[in-house]
């Protein structure tokens, strides 16, 4: 639900979170991530205000689960230790500390404190396509040294192809002593394929969202992924029928539109742009009379990272000025 928060412009209600969490828990899903789409503390004018405070949503999810552990995401600089402690106090049992793939050093304090709080802690290296494999390994080792119990290769832009995923997961498996995770986006329609490759190469934690409810074209579709894994003979203890029912009867009605690969999300995968930028680019394009695809391509050229949503407005204004000057 954390990644899905982007799709609903962070307008989840308490009742929706309760229903989804209860359904996932009943189906046997072991972890459910709940927070603002940009992580703890993300409810701001820059990233989008939440309808309901994330601490209330975390508490609602925890109360709805009998076996699942409720997780949160924290991006240092957006979320602080204060929000982390409050989330843990409300019942969150796992935190994924997320940084750009070259900036793992900013995660040290949050990883240390989360471990002191008794939380399960994972590192989350975003925009993993945008750095050489050697840099990814270097940064993952830093997170391991800080106390992370797993490190995720995070394809935030949905830009990685299967061979690139294979190379990255294999390199981490050969270099780390902790678990490896993989987080896919479907902007190039390879989220399931990429996830299967990650599993083949030793990833033991994988992400998904029901009905692809995630930023851009969404994540690996959970119910599809479980069906594929079942066909492969991998029983991971999740009830497929129950998962399908939650997807169809609870998540489906929440979605403002079906998740499909449209021109905006396709351009994000093509240009390697952070998936949560899509709604911001569409709004800026409408405001300034600029094609959102041009905005996303230019943001990609400038190598913007998560947390730089304000750059989208600047780019849109500059492109509009250039259009006007060109007649």
What are the helix and strand counts (H, E) for the chain? Answer: 15, 7
Whether 100 is catalytic: no
- 183 belongs to an annotated ligand binding site: yes
How far does CA 24 lie from the centroid of its chain?
Answer: 18
Q: Which of 6, 36, 110, 280 is catalytic?
A: 6
The answer on whether 82 is annotated among ligand-binding residues is no
Is there a contact between 251 and 210 (Cβ–Cβ < 8 Å)? yes
- Is 130 marked as binding a ligand? no
**Which among 263, 213, 291, 189 has a CA at the least distance from the CA of 37?**
213
156 is in an annotated binding site: yes
CB 201 within 8 A of CB 153: no
| Alpha carbon distances (Å) from 234 to 109, 163, 184, 196, 200 | 37, 22, 19, 11, 12
Is 152 annotated for ligand binding? no
Distances (CA, A) of 99 to 39, 119, 189, 285: 11, 18, 25, 28
Residue with tokens 């240092």: 76
Residue 110 assigned ligand-binding role: no
Strands 120-126 and 179-183, bridge-based pairing: unpaired
Query: How many of the other CB atoms lie within 10 Å of CB of 322?
Result: 11
Tokens representing 30? Answer: 């072991």
Which residue numbers are catalytic? 6
Residues forming the annotated binding site for Mn(2+)? 3, 183, 185
Residues forming the annotated binding site? 2-3, 156, 183, 185, 274
Residues forming the annotated binding site for substrate? 2-3, 156, 183, 274
């Amino acid at each position: 639900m954390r990644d899905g928060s982007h799709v609903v412009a962070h307008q989840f209600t308490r009742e929706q979170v309760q229903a989804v969490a209860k359904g996932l828990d009943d189906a046997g899903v072991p972890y459910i991530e709940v927070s603002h789409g940009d992580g703890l503390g993300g409810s701001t004018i820059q990233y989008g205000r939440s309808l309901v405070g994330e601490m209330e949503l975390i508490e609602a999810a925890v109360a709805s689960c009998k076996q699942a552990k409720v997780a949160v995401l924290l991006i240092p600089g957006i979320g602080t230790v204060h929000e982390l402690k409050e989330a843990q106090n409300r019942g969150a049992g796992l935190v994924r500390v997320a940084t750009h793939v070259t900036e793992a050093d900013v995660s040290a304090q949050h990883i240390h404190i989360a471990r002191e709080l008794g939380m399960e802690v994972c590192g989350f290296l975003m925009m993993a396509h945008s750095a050489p494999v050697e840099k990814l390994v270097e940064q993952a080792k830093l997170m391991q040294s800080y106390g992370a119990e797993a490190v995720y290769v995070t394809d935030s832009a949905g830009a990685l192809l299967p061979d690139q995923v294979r190379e990255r997961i294999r390199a981490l498996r050969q270099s780390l002593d902790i678990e490896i995770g993989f987080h896919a986006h479907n902007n190039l329609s390879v989220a399931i394929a990429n996830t299967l490759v990650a599993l083949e190469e030793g990833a033991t934690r994988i992400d998904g969202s029901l009905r692809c409810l995630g930023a851009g074209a969404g994540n690996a579709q959970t119910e599809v992924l479980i069906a594929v894994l079942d066909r492969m003979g991998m029983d991971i203890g999740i009830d497929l029928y129950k998962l399908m029912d939650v997807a169809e009867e609870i998540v489906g009605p929440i979605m403002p539109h079906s998740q499909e690969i449209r021109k905006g999300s396709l351009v994000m995968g093509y240009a390697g742009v952070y998936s949560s930028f899509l709604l911001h680019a569409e709004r800026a394009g409408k405001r300034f009379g600029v094609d959102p695809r041009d905005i996303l391509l230019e943001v990609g050229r400038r190598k913007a990272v998560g947390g730089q949503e304000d750059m989208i407005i600047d780019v849109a204004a500059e492109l509009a000025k250039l259009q006007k000057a060109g007649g």
